[in-house]
Amino acid sequence: MADIILIHGAWHGGWCWTATADALRDMGHRVACPDLPDAPDTTLADCVAALPAMARPLVVGHSMGGMVAEAMTAPASALLHLCSYLPLAGDSLATLDRLLPAPPRRWPRDDLGRLILPADQARQMIYHDCPHAPIHALRPQPVGPMRDRLAQRRPITRHYVICENDRAIPPALQRAMIDRAGVDHVHHRPWGHSPFLSDPAGLAKLIDAAT
């Protein structure tokens, strides 16, 4: 049995991990799926502070959640990046997005300045293989965790799961981050950006194997 923290990405909440967490708990693991804060002035440090205290957990970061996982200072057994941003010290999500040439992403904002992911773009970009995704559950995303830079990168065992059909973080960008930053274990899966919805059982098996 292991302690596991599952960190969601932008626009999401801990709800997105429900099926994966249930499968992991059935395997005997203790699992936490915290909601990251979504106040307009939220920072990367605020997101780290929202994580629960667990005894040397395996920390899984999805998409933006990879930045939060890397910013943790509490002891962990390993980090598992699920098609996530993989920074070096001094990197932000925004700088990593510019590693490969791509058109800039310009999201609409709410009245508080938080980023909105329109439903049609959510379906095309992050849920193209998740026909029953709860798009209504997506929430505004503060910009701070995307702009804040990682202070330092600690030595720890790292896994990276390349999702080969990802339309949000292209596989080429995932590989570029791995080549640049390095990880200990690379896993390839034929998933899109949201395997916690498209294949929660398969994702749980992969996480279990990393504990």
Active site residues: 63
3-state per-residue secondary structure call for the chain:
CCEEEEECCCCCCHHHHHHHHHHHHHCCCEEECCCCCCCCCCCHHHHHHCCCCCCCCEEEEECCHHHHHHHCCCCCCEEEEECCCCCCCCCCHHHHHCCCCCCCCCCCECCCCCECCCHHHHHHHCCCCCCCCCHHHCCCECCHHHHCCCCCCCCCCEEEEEECCCCCCCHHHHHHHHHHHCCCEEEEECCCCCHHHHCHHHHHHHHHHHC
Tell me which residue has tokens 């708990």.
25
Number of alpha carbons in the 13 Å side-chain half-sphere of residue 27: 22
Q: Which two tokens stand for residue 6?
A: 């599952």
Q: From the centroid of its chain, how far is CA 132?
A: 20
Q: Which two tokens stand for residue 76?
A: 């962990």
